[in-house]
Chain A
Amino acid sequence: MTTATVSSHDDHHDHGHPSGIKRWLFTTNHKDIGTMYMIFALIMFLVGGMMIMGVRAELFQPGMQLMKPEFFNQLIGVHALIMIFAALMPVATGMANWLIPMMIGAPDMALPRLNNWSFWLLPPAATLLVMPFILALFGIGTGAVATGWTLYAPLSVQGGMGVDFAIFSIHLLGISSILASINVVVTILNMRAPGMTMMKMPLFVWAWLITAFLLIATIPVLAGAVTMLLTDRHFDTHFFDAAGGGDPILFQHLFWFFGHPEVYILLLPIWGFMPHILSAFARKPIYGHKAQVYSFWAIGIMSVIVWAHHFFTVGMPLPALLYFMYSTMAISLPLAVLFFCWIATIWRGSMTFETPMLFALGFVILFGIGGLTGLVLADVAADAQYHHSYFVVAHFHYTLFAGGIMGAMAGVYFWLPKFTGHMYDEKLGKTHFWLTAISFNLTFIPQFFLGLAGMPRRIPDYALQFTEFNMISSIGAFALGLSQLLFVYIIIKCARGGEKASDKVWEGAKGLEFTLPSPPPYHSFTTQPVVK
């Protein structure tokens, strides 16, 4: 099918690409860049995780034990920014870098230099985000951004220089995402193997195409909003100040016009993983390939018209409330199509339960809880009770941890043997799944009840009736945090060696990437394969 299958990694050193640190700094290779994205994401996942361990330790019992409220507010906001922008988005981009060229039969990404730059913008961005913590240790500034990740004006206008650092960090992250998205779009539209029509494209590629469009459409709005914030802070504009004719709620509209699609930006690549993994371990073709593509489109388009359900309590005209309520409910329909297809894919299959399959099934069940609680949150009147409470915190961790992180882990376990050429330790992988799934639920189920009982989110200390559930939640969180160290160990172990992975890796695996050797050659397909 292709000549690339005979070449191995070492043959390509005569191309003259540098080794050592220069290899990584100057690389234009999609696999090297993908690897860097994912290592970066893993490191930041641990950094963001450590922050929330501090938060959960403080919330372990009532009273202020370990930190001051100011520092608590910094931890929660930076935790969210890191997990969203520096962990979940980079891991998805890393997977896109690795997989898209291999899945569509291309040698590399279309714009390799831009690819290099879009990665190397990330470490400075993350540094900017975290630096105020370190500066504060030396008595400079008041620490990192303390407004929560939402940066709501006027609190963010009032905040210290941590807010400025966050604004510039968001600018860099935004540029990085837009560049990566342009690269993805150009690669997908131009570099598909002969015979691979749009509708034959693998679902992960489809999901990323729509993710990329969403990023290009919404990141500039966020960049604009934070720039307006910057000028409000330093150049006496009054975009968000009523005294000067502005409106604080304008910020929320702009922020969530980005923020809601962002949820799908984080989740679409994960939904793209699912059919690949479920069908491989059910040894059955993907159910409803077309239906899933159309659902991706429907969700992508609907995601930009429902943003105001994130702030129902600000007080909106009745027609606006009704519109945002019903349009939000409507998203459940294309999402239900996806669930239907995932379940129909495993239905009457011949399943085995390796780690990626466990994570994928865990994803379907737990993300289902996230989705259903989202449906009730859409109801404006009930939302008045849920909003700003721990119910919402639990809800979005079911979508973004169970849906995002656990889904991403399913993908990592599934393709890791392809990337490294070695099988990971299956026993440890399964242990990791069960520890993660159990401790995740132990952490977040109590938070649903805390929210219903009336505990507001983002408070550093709480009334006594919330004590027991907070303790359980903290214990779950510590276990969840510790379990992820096992994940790091498994990955390092797999990268260093282990049982040799076959080209196909999994008995039921399909797709062009599984026609390449494991690990694949430096330039994935030097001759394009022909897709029938």
Chain B
Amino acid sequence: MAYKKLFSSWAGFAAIFSSGLVHAEYAWNFPEPVTPLARDTLHVHNEFMLISIAIFLVVLAIMIYSIFTHRKSKGHQPANFTGPSTKSQVIWTLVPFALLLFIDFVVMGIPAYHSVVMMEDTKTDAEIVLKVTGSQWKWQYEYPAEGIKFVSTMTTSEEQINNKEAKGEHYLLDVDNHVVLPINKKIRILLTSTDVIHTWWIPQFGAKRDAIPGFMRETWAKIEKPGIYRGQCAELCGKGHGFMPIVVEAVSEDDYKVWVDQQKAKLASAAASAEKQWSKDDLMKQGAEVYAKQCVVCHQANGQGMPPAFPALAGSKVINGPMLDASGHLIKDGHLDRVMNGKPGTAMQAFKTTLSDAEIASVVTFERNSFGNKMGDMVQPSQAKALR
């Protein structure tokens, strides 16, 4: 199996190289910067790289000269010095170090100082706050001032990843909900996590910062050019580490306002729907959608999970048991409690922080009546709301 695949890889390799000239997108440096920070970083990087390459080439040239001249086959007689002996030799020995000291702390040190100060100044003139929460393996975004909140998950299909379908243009870098941000406004980005450490990184923003559970970290971006910018989680965070992309859509201020209004309207209708009584069919239908987005990575499409790390839902004791006690409170470690509050120390997170009432109610209803589970009961969004 593996051999065959490897063999076809070689064939693919040849094909790519022969066609490489046509659509080559080789990147030899950072991608085009679109924020002041990224521009500054690129500038500093280029300058330091040139200095480093120059130092390397000078030293290499000296070595190569020596290797070709001072060799026995050419009859070169060895000298026997072991250190600088005369005063002028001592001075000449010190010159490279003085030069290096100067490069380290002046040529590199001063621009580096300004870059760091700039990078860390997340607050001055910040106009918008975006809160980013990493969870295994998706990002949740919140605009505290607008009350907007949504989850962003990867849309690349399992079939594409497992080579059963052709890979799309934005393979592994596409999500369902883009983060929409206005251009030319300084955005203060707050970061945290619900489980393990993740890192939020968009190369074109020059911003990379860890999202740490229980703590708030921050960075910033002032996007100067409208467009769609893509990045990925950069800190190993478990099996889905390679599959939690970040997509930011930078738009004009007017478009941003339109988007904000749309999102608010959506949230309002979601809140209204939480109040009404849902039919079981509606809950099952919505539940299947939520399951496919939120749960399927670990518990699998057939509900068999990947034990022991990710337990099966089919025939699960938790699901096929009671979830509310006689007075309507959550039973500890019951199905609804597990979905809402998670299981500490595992990848099962507290979904009440990321999902709406309707989503929680529908997915729990779905799980209780799928994969051979036949509980027959259901949860209403209003119940989920009351139990928060």
Which residues of A does B touch, CB under 8 Å?
57, 60-66, 68-70, 73, 141-142, 146-148, 152, 154-155, 157-158, 160, 241-243, 247-249, 282-291, 311, 313-315, 318, 321-322, 325-326, 329-330, 332-333, 336-337, 339-340, 343, 346-353, 361, 364-365, 368-369, 372-373, 375-376, 379-382, 384-385, 387-389, 449, 452-454, 456-465, 467-469, 471, 475
Contacts and interface: CB of A to CB of B under 8 A. Distances in A.
A243 B214 contact: yes
Nearest to A245: B214
B73 interface: yes
Interface of B: 2, 5-6, 9, 12-13, 16-17, 20, 24-31, 37, 40-41, 44-45, 48-49, 52-53, 55-56, 59-60, 62-63, 66-67, 70-73, 76-83, 93, 96-97, 100-101, 104-105, 108-109, 112-113, 115-120, 160-163, 167, 169-173, 195-197, 199, 201, 203, 206-210, 212-215, 217-219, 230-243, 308-309, 344-347
Contact of A452 (B29, B100, B163, B233): B29
A62 B167 contact: yes
A371 to B, nearest CB: 9
A385 B206 contact: yes
Q: What 9 A-B pairs have minimum CB-CB distances, sorted nearest first?
A: A242-B214, A381-B115, A459-B242, A453-B27, A454-B203, A315-B217, A388-B234, A350-B78, A372-B52
25 contacts: A57-B2, A68-B239, A152-B196, A158-B347, A285-B80, A311-B210, A314-B210, A322-B116, A325-B112, A346-B63, A348-B70, A348-B78, A348-B81, A350-B72, A351-B76, A380-B112, A381-B112, A382-B112, A384-B41, A453-B27, A459-B232, A460-B242, A461-B161, A461-B172, A463-B170
Given A160-B309, A248-B213, A454-B231, A287 B83 contact: yes
A446 to B, nearest CB: 10
B310 to A, nearest CB: 10
A375 B66 contact: no
Q: What secondary structure prevails in chain A residues at the interface with B?
A: helix
Contacts of A382: 41, 44-45, 48, 112, 115
Contacts of A346: 63, 66-67, 70
Given A63-B163, A350-B78, A365-B63, A142 B308 contact: yes
B97 A336 contact: yes
Contacts of B67: 346, 351, 361
A248 B197 contact: yes
Contacts of A364: 63
A452 B210 contact: no
Contacts of B241: 69, 73, 458-460
Given A147-B236, A333-B97, A343-B66, A313 B210 contact: yes
A414 B388 CA distance: 70
Contact of B70 (A61, A286, A351): A351
B236 A65 contact: no
Contacts of B37: 381
B120 to A, nearest CB: 5
A69 B97 contact: no
B71 A351 contact: yes
B55 A372 contact: yes
B335 to A, nearest CB: 22
B70 A350 contact: yes
Contacts of B24: 468
B208 A384 contact: yes
B236 A148 contact: yes
B167 A248 contact: no
B48 A375 contact: yes
Nearest to A364: B63
A465 B27 contact: yes
A510 B16 CA distance: 54
Nearest to B99: A336
B45 A376 contact: yes
A467 B163 CA distance: 14
Contacts of B44: 379, 381-382
